[in-house]
Structure 1
Amino acid sequence: MEQSLFLAEEGTSSLSKDSLVKGTIILALAALIARVLGAVQRIPLVHLLDDSGMATFSNAFNIYMMLLVLATAGIPSALSKLVSERNALGQYGEAQRIYQAAVKFALAAGAVMTVLMLLAAPYYEKISGVPNASLAIRAIAPALLLFPLIAIMRGYFQGRQRMAPNGLSQIIEQIVRLVAAIGLAYLLLAIGWGQAWAVAGASFGGVAGSIGAVLVMLYYAVLLKREDRRNGQVGNKTVTAPMSHRDIYARLFKLSVPIVLFSMAVPLINAIDTTITVGLLQPDLSHEAAVNALGILGGRAQSLAGIPIILAIALSQSAVPVISSAFAKKDHALVNSQASKALYISVLSGLPLVLAICAAARPINIFMFGNADGTGIIVLLTASAMFQIVMQTSGAVLMGIGQMRPLIVHVCIGLVVKLACSYLLAPTFGIYGIIASTALCFIVMAQLNLVILRRHVDYTILGKKWFGLAVTAVLVYAAGFGLEWLTHRYVQPFGYRWSHMLDAIIVGGAVMAVYVALLALTKVVTAEDAARLPAPVQKIMRRLKRKPGTAGN
């Protein structure tokens, strides 16, 4: 099956008008499955570890993610861009040399970051104020040995516009992580080792997931090598002086420094939260209550708020090689159309997921975690994801056209906004002030990205239809909120948690259906606009716009 998935992509390796959408669909479906598995993993972990244990788990995971980005230094995205450009120009041998140099860097960087994470763990525990964080951080540290290599391989496949290997490796990684994390946490509690070791066992699930992912990537690497030999894609079709390793690293790092800062924006924001939240909340809350609030933010809200940005991340990964290839060929019309398509799809597809989760936050929270604690936190953080979607997609387009330097400035400004607003708002609004500072950070970065993008790309998103979309969003959320109130009171046919699962399905499904219907009825999406969407969505929109009685005409 894996080989058939890989071969099915052969026709998408060249730049076509649908390559962005095809790559996005593959990555989005894989990321959605992986995200669902990640969220499912947290249900038994919250039960096993409770909110204080999840605070420790989130602390270790966030610092690990930050170091992982540092370990790869943005090389995967830079590699994707360079490989895509070289292949577009027929320089296949040069693309392979760049890839091999990046692999060497990943292996060295992974070893260095693993040692750094092991040594720095106790110091970070003292700074964050989260108990037993050191043990959990050290448990997940060995994953850094393999994940930089995995990231580099994903970047190479992304540059070749082969998204199936990346997607399947994400799914296998999450399945192995889930089984190992839950199994080890349960086992360590069962034999009486206590919560601290159980959290460390859950963290070690990341190491097991990295092993599963690297095996998938190595398998696909063998398949691609065989295909290249069959197609004669070896050596350079264009005669050029080969780049030395020194030149390759210089080019990679020149591209990767802005990319790494942009890629680190969200991990840094999460790391800021895990570092300062307990201290900022303690003047008004006990230490235990502050740790529990952080546990809800990291263990519940972040996992659910991450679902709407799945498509934006997939679009970002697909957009960089597609736009880079068009930009290398100086096809500005294609750059404009692909940039517009990426931004358009990210907004229209991200919004219904945000609305559905916000409207159904209470039943989702009860079903997944056993109670309604922190429902407001989930709603506010999920709402902020809409701005993260625009920030992520616009940043990817800037990468594709080589506008790297502005990304450094925008991330730095955004982080300053995040820190300043956290300290200003937390004393008055508590945990909600910290979440509001995250939303403001995303708003500032997204707006700055769009301003710079407008100078170089003639893009359009919705034009004059923003008001109609805003009205649609308000009406959809109001309908979902009212329906959730009714189902919470009157639709409870099963046990406590299973009834709320049914409520979440009803509310979420209704929100999605009403959203699509209103887009058509308010003409926010016209027939011309629908042509920019994936084919299945186009069919749905056409059916919704068809008037009663005209089906047979």
Structure 2
Amino acid sequence: MAKKESFIKGTLILTAAALVARVLGLAQRVPLEHMLGSVGNASFGIANTVYLMLLTVATAGIPSTLSKMVSERYALNRPGEAQRVYHAALLFAAMAGVIMTLLVYFGAPYYATYVAKVPESALAIRALAPALLLFPTIAMMRGYFQGRNNMAAGGISQIVEQFARVGTGLILAFVLLNMGYNDSWAAAGASFGGVLGSIGAFGVMLYYTVKMRKQDKVALLQSGPDAALPLLRIYKDIFTLSIPIVLSSLAVPVVNFIDSSIIKGLLIPQTGESQATYLLGILTSRAQSIAGIPPILAIALSTSLIPIISAAFARRDEEYLKQQVTLAMRIAILTGMPIVIALCVASYSVNGLIFSSLDSSGIIMILTFGTIFQITMMTSNSILLGISKAKVSMVNVMIGIVVKFGASYLLAPFFGIYGIIAATGLCFLVITLLNLRTLKKIVPFSILGSRWVSFLVAVVVSGGVGFGLNQAGIQLVHIMPDRLAFLVTCLIVGGAVVVVYLVLLIVLGVLREQELASYPRMLRRIFTPLMKLQPSRLRTRKHEVGSE
């Protein structure tokens, strides 16, 4: 029981850390968007995409592989081997940190000037470079502690990192602007918060390391000497397992990095340099932060099923695997869609509520609409990883990125910034379709089967209701302060979309009472009282998840 409680507590901490990171990311973008001009917003956005991409490289794949290798060796009572694996990982992390820092610092002017075509962003990129000294090491330490069943260390360090990064970044940007520095320096100050965040996270990990040192010494004395593991063998094992996971995890950061790199070059011939810089700032400071909201709940709920999927695959229980894969994809779509709909139809009001101007609401709407494909891509990627198909997932992601690149260059001359955004949605859709094709070869399943038409009716009707309410709500600006009017409109539209959507899902039979037992507890609590609305012919129909 104690182990189970510890696992649940650790999982909750990691979930809270991920949620804090998303919320604080948005909380940072909003005040910065108000403080900075178009050059400052573009500069911070470019630096942030570089940072997030390199952070994914440092924190995806290798730490989870290290966690697996460490936990296996402690389970076999080989703590000496586990320590050697850990030390080898730390050595690699230290070297990788130095190399990445030097590359980013000295490569920033070239990338900013000739690739992103925003020379002013070099300062912001360079300001982040020192953070990369510590992040690979922090990632390895988190992986090691997870391998030791200590989830709290990684989760708390992530929360401390985010508060330090966002808080100090906003303070530095504000102080620099008030001292008379320009937007480029203010964006660099905001970026430097990442360095202070890394120091905070590293301090937390050192604290937990000191706490665990005594426990490690006892384990080493009790186990006796272990066979020495050659470094080359350790690195081979780590990279063989981790590289496909790293590359699979790079889809979203790489897509954002591509946009930061090519937007100005593609748009300058159509719009001119100043407008292209402005649109780049809109995309990175506004649209990407809003578009990051819908995946949070859907991915958390669907990926909570991944360990169950892994276990079913290992047992070769095809029927149960079919049910769980269906359930994971279904939950991802059904829980992600109402948030996507609400943010799309209320994009004008959301823009007016939290940002500095009302223009370019269409950019927010189109990018947010594409996140439904991001949700399905990320969920199907996780399922493939859960059934040991990381290499297939990696190949599909690479194909999607090639599609993104090509479609951006094809569509931008005709549709401008909207063509580039459409290429992003197409990239995620292609990866999703490739992933689903692979999964169906392993286990036959159908996400909604004959219910797709009913689902689309629920989407269109709830979207239409939300759009009508938004158009009516924005008229409130004539009788009350603008931001208050936009706040009221957002609340009404969001509530109405969710209620109409849920009611239609139940009335039209997209969700059925017989299936609720297999859903996560949080969703059962929401859906069960509403099931009284479902026609009796649907409630009495026998059905199992995955049969349609």
Shorter-normalised TM range: 0.7 to 0.9
- Please state how far the C-alpha of 1:175 moved relative to its aligned partner: 2.0
Write out per-residue CA displacement over residues 185-230 of structure 1, whole angstroms, 9 at most, x where no aligned residue: 1111111222221111011011122222333444556667788999
**Which residue of structure 2 lines up, in the alignment, with residue 182 of structure 1?**
170
1:49-88 paired onto structure 2 within 5 Å:
49-72=36-59, 74-82=61-69
Distance in 1 of aligned mates of 2:217 and 2:320: 30
**Which residue of structure 1 lines up, in the alignment, with residue 4 of structure 2?**
11
Distance in 2 of aligned mates of 1:362 and 1:423: 28
- Identical columns (%): 49
Three-state SS of the structure 2 residue aligned to 1:307 is coil
- Please state how far the C-alpha of 1:430 moved relative to its aligned partner: 0.5
- Please state how far the C-alpha of 1:181 moved relative to its aligned partner: 1.2
**Which residue of structure 1 lines up, in the alignment, with residue 340 of structure 2?**
354
- Please state how far the C-alpha of 1:425 moved relative to its aligned partner: 0.6
Q: Which runs of 5+ in 2 are unaligned?
A: 535-548
Residue identity opposite 2:127 in structure 1 = A
1:249-268 paired onto structure 2 within 5 Å:
249-268=235-254
Distance in 1 of aligned mates of 2:66 and 2:195: 24
**Which residue of structure 1 lines up, in the alignment, with residue 118 of structure 2?**
130
**Which residue of structure 1 lines up, in the alignment, with residue 541 of structure 2?**
none
Contact 2:469 2:489 in 1 (8 A): no
Identify the range of structure 1 (517-526 vs 313-322) with the bigger mean alpha-carbon deviation: 313-322
Contact 1:9 1:162 in 2 (8 A): no
**Which residue of structure 2 lines up, in the alignment, with residue 248 of structure 1?**
234
Distance in 1 of aligned mates of 2:222 and 2:326: 35
Distance in 2 of aligned mates of 1:333 and 1:93: 41
- Please state how far the C-alpha of 1:84 moved relative to its aligned partner: 6.3
Q: Does 1:202 align with 2:190?
A: yes
**Which residue of structure 2 lines up, in the alignment, with residue 3 of structure 1?**
none
**Which residue of structure 2 lines up, in the alignment, with residue 499 of structure 1?**
485
Distance in 2 of aligned mates of 1:327 and 1:98: 28
Write out per-residue CA displacement over residues 453-509 of structure 1, whole angstroms, 9 at most, x where no aligned residue: 222345553343233222211111111111111111137664222331232122222
Match of 1:110 among 82, 97, 100: 97
Identify the range of structure 1 (247-256 vs 458-467) with the bigger mean alpha-carbon deviation: 458-467
1:249-288 paired onto structure 2 within 5 Å:
249-288=235-274
Residue identity opposite 2:364 in structure 1 = I
Contact 1:59 1:271 in 2 (8 A): yes
- Please state how far the C-alpha of 1:12 moved relative to its aligned partner: 5.6
Q: Does 1:193 align with 2:186?
A: no
Residue identity opposite 2:172 in structure 1 = L
1:314-333 paired onto structure 2 within 5 Å:
314=300, 323-324=309-310
Contact 2:32 2:41 in 1 (8 A): yes
Contact 1:86 1:92 in 2 (8 A): yes
Residue identity opposite 2:4 in structure 1 = G
1:77-476 paired onto structure 2 within 5 Å:
77-82=64-69, 97-127=84-114, 128-156=116-144, 164-219=152-207, 243-311=229-297, 313-314=299-300, 323-324=309-310, 336=322, 338-459=324-445, 461-476=447-462
Residue identity opposite 1:179 in structure 2 = G
Identify the range of structure 1 (134-143 vs 312-321) with the bigger mean alpha-carbon deviation: 312-321
Distance in 2 of aligned mates of 1:95 and 1:275: 41
Contact 2:507 2:533 in 1 (8 A): no
Q: Which runs of 5+ in 1 are unaligned?
A: 1-7, 549-553
- Please state how far the C-alpha of 1:431 moved relative to its aligned partner: 0.3
**Which residue of structure 2 lines up, in the alignment, with residue 551 of structure 1?**
none
Identify the range of structure 1 (490-499 vs 254-263) with the bigger mean alpha-carbon deviation: 490-499
Identify the range of structure 1 (313-322 vs 429-438) with the bigger mean alpha-carbon deviation: 313-322
Three-state SS of the structure 2 residue aligned to 1:531 is helix
Distance in 1 of aligned mates of 2:338 and 2:228: 48
- Please state how far the C-alpha of 1:131 moved relative to its aligned partner: 2.8
Distance in 1 of aligned mates of 2:258 and 2:188: 22
Distance in 1 of aligned mates of 2:86 and 2:305: 20
Contact 2:309 2:386 in 1 (8 A): yes
TM-score, structure 1 length as denominator? 0.86
**Which residue of structure 1 lines up, in the alignment, with residue 26 of structure 2?**
39
Distance in 2 of aligned mates of 1:306 and 1:36: 9
**Which residue of structure 1 lines up, in the alignment, with residue 507 of structure 2?**
521
Aligned length: 533
- Please state how far the C-alpha of 1:354 moved relative to its aligned partner: 1.2
Distance in 2 of aligned mates of 1:281 and 1:24: 44
Three-state SS of the structure 2 residue aligned to 1:523 is coil
- Please state how far the C-alpha of 1:10 moved relative to its aligned partner: 3.6
Change (3 A) 1:73 1:179: closer
Contact 2:19 2:296 in 1 (8 A): yes
Three-state SS of the structure 2 residue aligned to 1:283 is helix
Distance in 2 of aligned mates of 1:217 and 1:352: 38
Distance in 2 of aligned mates of 1:510 and 1:222: 52
Identify the range of structure 1 (457-466 vs 191-200) with the bigger mean alpha-carbon deviation: 457-466
Change (3 A) 1:193 1:81: same
Distance in 1 of aligned mates of 2:223 and 2:439: 33
Distance in 1 of aligned mates of 2:478 and 2:214: 56
Residue identity opposite 1:308 in structure 2 = P
Change (3 A) 1:465 1:212: farther
Residue identity opposite 1:449 in structure 2 = N
Contact 2:345 2:470 in 1 (8 A): yes
Identify the range of structure 1 (516-525 vs 307-316) with the bigger mean alpha-carbon deviation: 307-316
Write out per-residue CA displacement over residues 309-336 of structure 1, whole angstroms, 9 at most, x where no aligned residue: 2245546875666655665666666655
Three-state SS of the structure 2 residue aligned to 1:129 is coil
Residue identity opposite 2:40 in structure 1 = G
Residue identity opposite 1:11 in structure 2 = K
Contact 1:80 1:321 in 2 (8 A): no
Distance in 1 of aligned mates of 2:295 and 2:73: 30
Three-state SS of the structure 1 residue aligned to 2:130 is helix
CA RMSD across the alignment: 3.4
Identify the range of structure 1 (371-380 vs 23-32) with the bigger mean alpha-carbon deviation: 23-32
TM-score, structure 2 length as denominator? 0.87
Contact 2:33 2:356 in 1 (8 A): no
